[in-house]
Amino acid sequence: MIANLLLLIKEVRARANALYPSPMRIIRFCISGGIATLVNLGTLFSLTHFFSVWYVFSSIIAFMLAFWVSFSMQKLWTFKDVSRDHVYAQALTFLTIVFVGLGINTTLIFVLVEYGGLHYLGAQLISGVFIAMMNYFSYKHLVFHDTHEGVMPSIGGAPKK
């Protein structure tokens, strides 16, 4: 009876964690995204301004570098997924989500500016908040879905709470 009760409590906790993200995980998600954005802008500026690289090529390099920074930080820090299993599949899914987000972002900005009468920066802000929420839940449920908040492997390899 007690074992069944403990199992029920564990199941309820797991479902609650799946539905309601911890505040610290959301903070880590935002910090990781902010750092990736700074890497993108810093790389774009540095390559173009200091090294005279064509801005379009600089933008491509900056995007790729920022992608890897974002993926690595989201995987290892935000979602605490230190496993090496399925890294390539995770990266591909992550990249797909990024490109879907780009399409949605572009569509939202167009609709909000052309039909909603908003300034393009306001439209980008609204769209950015929506895309960030979409990305968080997509990363959590589609990319890093096997990870659990607060569970990290110990040195011996066994899970530790």
| Residue 22 confidence (pLDDT) | 84
CA nearest 36: which of 79, 2, 74? 74
| Helix H or strand E segment including 159 | strand 159-160
| Residue 13 confidence (pLDDT) | 72
> pLDDT tens track of the chain, all 161 residues?
788 878 878 887 777 666 666 889 999 999 999 999 999 999 999 999 999 999 999 999 999 999 999 999 999 999 999 999 899 999 999 999 999 999 999 999 999 999 999 999 999 999 999 999 999 999 999 999 864 444 444 334 444 44
- Per the structure, the complete domain to which residue 67 belongs is given by 24-151
Residue 64 located in a structural domain: yes
Number of structural domains the chain divides into: 1
Residue 14 located in a structural domain: no
Residue 76 located in a structural domain: yes
Residues in the chain: 161
Return the beta strands (E) in 4-143 as ranges. Answer: none
| Residue 150 confidence (pLDDT) | 43
Residue 15 located in a structural domain: no
Burial category of 80 from C-beta neighbours within 10 Å (exposed 0-12, middle 13-18, buried 19 and up): middle
What's the whole-model pTM score?
0.74
| Residue 92 confidence (pLDDT) | 98
What is the distance, to the nearest Å, from the Cα of residue 47 to the centroid of all Cα atoms in its chain?
Answer: 25
Report DSSP state, residue 152.
E
Q: How far apart are CA 89 and CA 157, in angstroms?
A: 23
Q: The tokens 């900005």 sit on which residue?
A: 109
Residue 5 located in a structural domain: no
Residue 50 located in a structural domain: yes
Residue 18 located in a structural domain: no
| Range 113-117 contact pairs with CB under 8 angstroms and sequence separation of 24 or more | none
